[in-house]
Structure 1
Amino acid sequence: MDPIRNPYAPGAGQRPPELAGRDRELAQFEITLERVAAGRPDRSMVLSGLRGVGKTVLLNALRSQAVGRAWGTGKVEARPEQSIRVPLAQAVHAAVREVAHRHRDPDRVDEVVSVLKSFALRTGVEGRKGTRWTPPVDVVAARGRADSGDLELDLVELFTDVALLAQDLGVGIALFVDEMQDVAGPELGALCGAGHEISQQGSPLLLVGAGLPHLPVALAASKSYAERLFRYVSVDRLPREMADRALQVPAATEDVEFEPSALDELYRMTDGYPYFVQAYGKVTWDVAVGTPITAADVREAAPEAEAELALGFFGARFERATPAERDYLTAIADLGADRGDAAVPTAEIARHLARRPQSLSPARDGLIKKGLVYAAERGSVAFTVPHFGRFLRAR
């Protein structure tokens, strides 16, 4: 069929033509936006799950909802070894710009921007790497407000002022943090602490995070009350009905249908993981000669889809690992073959490699920092990428 009309969109954070299976989360966030704007308390949200399940897509969809309600919004993508202060300052600046032009008191806006500037200029005080950045605004930085160097205290003061600015307009501020597991523990605690204080004040500001499956544990470790501060949403693979919907609805816009056996085959190959659904759907469309798409089309397209995933989705990640880390990954894959690639105890990995557990700690820690594995529970690790074990065993 015509590849130009191909409706499927595999890509990092790229919204698919049909965002299937996320209606509940979108509906809940609409309620949260309404409640917070009306001065009623509600919890912020944290999304967690493996790579390729659509966390970033859902995070962006939630942000679009806030934009649609005229909220000020900003987004951060956390990175290892980088302080969160400057990215947060940039996100807050974006949020302020979205509401400032509607505010009737320019002096009030300048006061808030001056506090933001003082916050941004404290770059480096947390002792972590970060790029210095100054908001492109013609105001003098405030003194004695959000500039103490204590990130939690500074965030409380900054968030308070920014939220009140939005409250003047009957809206709020929503800040979205992707790859939240990469925020260092002390800074994660500062974020939670500031969010907790803002929530107690009843200020209209929401923090929405997304990260790998161990993010809820990291948040709980940073602040004991974090488990009550957020509404936790586990973003998982799509059930069969939703996976079919993700394929059928876009195809229907082009007057194309799938045979039931083709949908059976696609679900067997993708396990309902959204990224794989899009990847296999795209290649299958290009291979098929017409409608309806058949199981034979799916099977013919499978090697090409697998080759693309092996090169881009899996291979690029594997190439980032050192030789010692690759041995560790291969051991997890070998041991996970009979357990559906579930978490593997680190002690078993050490026995498999005939090594002392302590000698493998650098490889394990390096893989966690690179986002290839996560500590599923105490004393065990699992892949952050679905089907990664299958890929390694096939090499």
Structure 2
Amino acid sequence: MDPVRNPYAPGAGQRPPELAGRDEQLAAFDVTLERVAHGRPERSVVLTGLRGVGKTVLLNAQRSAAVRADWGTGKLEARPDQPLRRPLASALHMAIRELGHPQSDDVLGTVKAFAARDVGSGRMRDRWNPGIDVPATTGRADSGDMEIDLVELLTDVGGLAADVGRGVAIFVDEMQDLRPEDVSALCAACHELSQNRLPVVVVGAGLPHLPAVLSASKSYSERLFRYSRVDRLDREAADRALVSPAHDEGVEFTPGALAEMYAATAGYPYFVQAYGKAVWDAAAGSPITVDDVRVAAPEAEEELGVGFFGSRFERATPAEREYLRAMAETAVADRAGEVEAGEPDSVPTAAVAAHLDRKPQSLSPARDALLKKGLIYSGERGRIAFTVPHFGRYLRATAG
């Protein structure tokens, strides 16, 4: 069929034509916006899930909902090598500008002071300009103590939003990559906002171990955030993600083709889009059949192998790749048949070491490096898992 009319969109954070299976989370966020706008107590939100399940897409959809509610919004992506001050200041700068209040200059001065503080030297950095055309405030959010400064900053932002009669929402992607001191400060600031019922909401998205990261920082974090797991789509939602955009183009799927697609993708949103794109291009016309899916499967798997799996595997060193393959092989032996689609949730680190006939301590450097690269995560002590669905299956298929 005509590739120009192909409606499917596999891409990092790219919104699919039909955002299926996320109605409940979007509705819950609308309630959060309404409650905060009316001065009701409400928690900030944390989205967790594997790579490719659509966390960033959902985060962006929630930001769009906040914009429709006339809130000020800003977004940042956390990076392990970058302190929070500057990206958060840029996000808040955008949110405050969207509020458009005449008295916002005072708060923007506080944002500038917060951003420019050089924690290492205790001095203000004059060279870096965050694009805020007002003088930096003195004596507010500029102490150099991240927790004190962030509490003061978000309190001022919340006060401005309350005066305007609107709200501010800050969206943090890859939240698990925040530095420990920044996580602690963010938790403390959210706690302060909640206690004072200020109209500021933080929405974070990250890997499955993000709740553990937050809990390790502040013991009250499990009560501070509303956690929402973003998982693979059930059969009905996966079918809708395929059928609805195809129907808009006058194309249908046979029931057998939809069943074959779900068997291949297991409902993971990125896989649904990748297979949808390949099948559309391979099909001669409507309706799309089982044979079309089977003909297109190698193309879809190749695209996933290069762009989704392979690119991540290439980031690993030889020692790290050995560890990843051992995880994949251990997973089958450890819990074969227990989890649908043959992808166990996690494996014991001791079992990986035993598989390689090595002492666990000797593998710590490779494991820690993979954790920092975001290729694996530890949801509980002594166990590890891939951050990418079906990564173990890919590694087993490409062994040797």
Map 1:101-116 → 2, pairs under 5 A: 103=101, 106=102, 108-116=103-111
The residue matched to 1:18 in structure 2 has which SS? coil
Q: Decide whether the 8 Å contact of 1:332 with 1:344 is kept in 2.
A: yes
Counterpart position of 1:355? 358
Does the aligned pair in 2 maintain the 1:84–1:187 contact within 8 Å? yes
Task: Name the structure 2 match of 1:95.
Answer: 95
Note the 1:30-69 alignment, pairs <5 A.
Answer: 30-69=30-69
TM-score using structure 1 length: 0.96
The equivalent of 1:369 in structure 2 is 372
2:382 to 376, 379, 383: 379
Compared CA separation, residues 282 and 152, structure 1 to 2 (3 A): same
- Give the TM-score, by structure 2 length: 0.95
Secondary structure of the structure 1 residue equivalent to 2:351: helix
Supply the AA of the counterpart residue of 1:374. Answer: Y
Structure 1 residues 157, 11: CA separation in 2 closer, same or farther (over 3 Å shift)?
same
Alignment correspondent of 1:120 = 115
Q: Using the TM superposition, name which of 110-119 and 12-21 deviates more.
A: 110-119
Percent of residue pairs identical? 66
Shift >3 Å, 4+ stretches:
123-127, 130-133
SS in 1 for 2:205: strand
Q: Distance in 1 between matches of 2:121 and 2:298?
A: 49
Which consecutive residues of structure 1, in runs of 5 or more, have no partner in the other structure? none
Partner of 2:338: none
Matching of residues 209-288 of structure 1 within 5 Å:
209-288=204-283
Q: For 1:261-299, what per-residue CA distance to the aligned partner results, in whole angstroms no more than 9, with x for missing partners?
A: 000000000000000000000100000011110000000
Q: Of residues 134, 148, 173 in structure 2, which corresponds to 1:139?
A: 134
Count residues with an aligned counterpart: 388
| Counterparts of 2:82 and 2:369, CA distance in 1 | 16
Shift of residue 139 of structure 1?
A: 1.6
Q: CA RMSD of the aligned region, Å?
A: 1.5
Structure 1 residue corresponding to 2:319, chosen from 318, 324, 330 = 324
Query: What whole-Å deviation, never above 9, does each CA across 1:213-270 have from its counterpart, x for those lacking one?
Result: 0001111111000000011001000000000000001011011110000000000000
CA spacing shift, 1:77–1:126, aligned 2, 3 Å: farther
**Do the aligned partners of 2:158 and 2:200 also contact (CA within 8 Å) in 1?**
yes
Alignment partner, residue 303 of structure 1 = 298
Q: Distance in 2 between matches of 1:335 and 1:276?
A: 24
On the 8 A contact 2:151/2:185 being kept in 1, the answer is no
The DSSP-based 3-state class of the residue aligned with 1:349 is: helix
Given the superposition, is the C-alpha separation of residues 126 and 344 from structure 1 closer, same or farther in structure 2, using an over 3 Å criterion? farther
Alignment of 1:168-207 (within 5 A): 168-207=163-202
Report the Cα offset of residue 138 of structure 1.
Answer: 2.5
CA contact (8 A) 1:123 1:132 kept: no
Q: Cα distance, 1:126 vs. partner? A: 9.8
Rounded Cα–Cα distance in structure 1 between residues aligned with 2:379 and 2:35: 34
List gaps (5 residues or longer) in structure 2: 336-341
